[in-house]
Structure 1
Amino acid sequence: MTGSVAPVVLGVESSCDETGFGLVSEGVLLGQGLASSAAQHAEFGGVVPEIAARAHLDAAVPTLQIALQDAGVGLDEITHVAVTSGPGLATAVHVGLAAAKSIAWALDKPLYGVHHLAGHAAADTLEHGPLPAQSIVLIVSGGHTSILAVGDLVRDPIEHLGDTLDDAAGEAFDKVARLLGLGYPGGPAISRAAVGGDPTAYRFPRALLRGGDAPFTFSFSGLKTAVARTVERIQRAGEVVPVADIAASFEQAVVDVLVTKAMRAVHERGLSALVIVGGVAANRRLREAAQQRCDTDGIELRIPPISLCTDNGAMIAAVGDLLVRSGAEPSGLRIAADPSAVLHGAQLPLPR
């Protein structure tokens, strides 16, 4: 960065079935482009890695062009490039990483390899400004459900307080939606089906809710199994499956666990802010329940707008922008894909 020229960071995201490019400058989202291959995966009930990778290849150039046009920025105005280098589907991550390396090399610009989940946390800064000095971050998506203690997102180590032992919340939504014949992706399908349903009609399990030795640990596999057994029992009796009631009861069980454990972390750490991010953060029942609990307890709740909850390039650009402004050293073209990367920091280390 030279003189007083503000950085313009291009973010590239391809960890799953969304191809995203975004441009951020000094905490401000300039523009973005997003393409999804979700419709291609619907018949399989989940993401097929090879299909996702091919879709990323097809979408990369046009989606980049959309982002540039949306931002009113030319390629020559990009000063830095940031890319998801993990975690995610291996074939998908490689496509975005190759695209980002090509852009950085062609423009002779610094490249930062960043952690996908740090991107979700950074997405909130594009709407609400810098994160609090200390906060609890609940990341809840198709592949991850974690409670984190976060200070400065790019300068401080990120502390895992708890993760899921089995299914992530979003994965449980997908599987239950398939059981109920609601299609893919499951999160929006369950939410639509739950409208008008009775969330108290079925008392589905809330695993590990009491805390004990695992106060911040999640498990949704048993909940999914309980829904499956309920549906089987109703079908064996020759009755019509009450889809709305089951969807609403399942959704409420997930929300109860997420909110209870996140708030437990806030109070045990003596903090005053909760940030909820990830695809499932778009869920209306979760947003309402978290807001009600935070209002009651005097806690600040921050959730990005729905457009920034799902995977997107803007959130990766937001991490890159924070790294640039913090003076972090670029990763360079040696950065490798790490599909199973654990979140210890926003920037992923170089391969040894």
Structure 2
Amino acid sequence: MKARRDSAATPAPAPLGGPAVVVDGLTKRFGERTAFTDVTFGVDHGEVFGFLGPNGAGKTTIVRTLGTLLAPTAGSATVAGLPLNAANGVEIRRRIAVMPESPGLYQRLSVAENLSFFAGLYELDDRRGRIERALRAVNLLDRADDPCRSLSKGLRQRVGLARALLSDPQILFLDEPTSGLDPLAARDVHGLIDGLRHRGVTIFLTTHRLAEAEALCDRVGIMNTTLRTIGRPDELRERLFAQTLQVTTRAPLAEPDRVFAGLPGVEGWHPGTHDGDGAGYLLAVTGPDVAPAVARAVVTAGADLLVLSPSRHSLEDVYLQLIDEDVEARTR
């Protein structure tokens, strides 16, 4: 059955209240193999939500399940205000769009012909207006007549994104949208995603690029067939790692334990890394407000203080802390 929208000028359906996506105990098995199990989370309207995990962790299968392409084995979900079931499949597809890692364009057709073909599959009216708006959104209006085979991979990804925007989706599922792109092309896609965020589109993003997730996502979930953790990147860092201060002095402290021990808010210290000459110390602290007292203590000890800064863990540190196995190679 095909999904039809009545007016190209009408924006995506207004949110019906509550989160954009709610997943409760969702599980998908293929025979004896488990793609993901007992996954529970929610995505707010207008949020960019990232799903991270190794190959075989179940990220793409979750996207295909929430996009109504696969039926879950167990659990429940609500997508765009509707329960995820066969009866609601058509209506859910009216409110969402899915852009797979490979957009599946017809290489001999032009950009506009590809978009016209896909708009026809969904019986969208005002195809010309929809195509123009979608191409303008991805900055490809001047390439509308170019055959897709002449485009770089980065431009083909933009065409795939334009295809996903034809129906003015309320929720956009992006599965590895920058896979295989060079940094410049990836940056262009990031800009497009950020623009969609400002338009109020809810974006569900799967990616292997941790820096990409940290830059784009309001929250991230880390998967490894089960959901290991979920939260804002800064929340995950605070949850998994103690707060630390990096101290670098021009010369080693004669008695560092006497300098740092007993300072309010300093829970311990050990030698840290540093560049070039000097000495580094890593302090476990209760919070960043401890820094002034640490600075005074170092100066009072007669040392030249070169660096005093919070030691910031990256999203990659969080990821590696939680993911420690090769799921794709593991026998299930």
Q: TM-score range by the shorter chain?
A: under 0.3
Higher relative contact order (CA 8 A, sep 6+): 1
TM-score by length of 2: 0.25
Larger proportion of strand: 2
Larger proportion of helix: 1
TM-score by length of 1: 0.24
